[in-house]
Amino acid sequence: GAVVSQHPSRVICKSGTSVKIECRSLDFQATTMFWYRQFPKQSLMLMATSNEGSKATYEQGVEKDKFLINHASLTLSTLTVTSAHPEDSSFYICSARSVSGGALTDTQYFGPGTRLTVL
């Protein structure tokens, strides 16, 4: 149980184009999903928190107009990198919050990640 998928797993695009990454919770409902960015050999940096049916909350320094997040349903959140540039190349990982029994026992389950390369 508690499986999170991401699509695509890898994407290569030209500079200036937009790329959409999907994050799905396959066997549970996720009212909250998180988007992270990971540079090579580094830790995960939280980009934004996505809540179903409301606007995403972005971390300081993350451009909301560049990284568009939509959480259209309880099982799907999308991250769109608009007008991508080479510096946006990174490993993007989503997670979904599973409520196992009361707010204090929430656990985040992570997707396998999407490798974005912008040429």
Partner 1 sequence: AQSVTQPDIHITVSEGASLELRCNYSYGATPYLFWYVQSPGQGLQLLLKYFSGDTLVQGIKGFEAEFKRSQSSFNLRKPSVHWSDAAEYFCAVGAGDYKLSFGAGTTVTVRA
Residues that bind partner 1 (CB under 8 A): 4, 6, 32, 34, 42-44, 46, 49, 93, 95, 97, 104-113, 115
Q: How far is the CB of 23 from partner 1 (least distance, A)?
A: 10
Q: How far is the CB of 109 from partner 1 (least distance, A)?
A: 7
- Separation between Cα atoms, residue 22 and residue 5, nearest integer Å: 8
Would residue 67 be called left, alpha or beta, if left means φ above 0 and alpha means ψ between -120 and 50 degrees?
beta
Q: Residue 4 or residue 81: which is nearer to partner 1 going by CB? A: 4
Q: Residue 19 or residue 109: which is nearer to partner 1 going by CB? A: 109
Q: How far is the CB of 71 from partner 1 (least distance, A)?
A: 14
Q: Residue 87 or residue 105: which is nearer to partner 1 going by CB? A: 105
- Separation between Cα atoms, residue 115 and residue 12, nearest integer Å: 8
Q: How far is the CB of 119 from partner 1 (least distance, A)?
A: 20
- Separation between Cα atoms, residue 81 and residue 85, nearest integer Å: 9
Q: Residue 75 or residue 95: which is nearer to partner 1 going by CB? A: 95
- Separation between Cα atoms, residue 57 and residue 94, nearest integer Å: 14
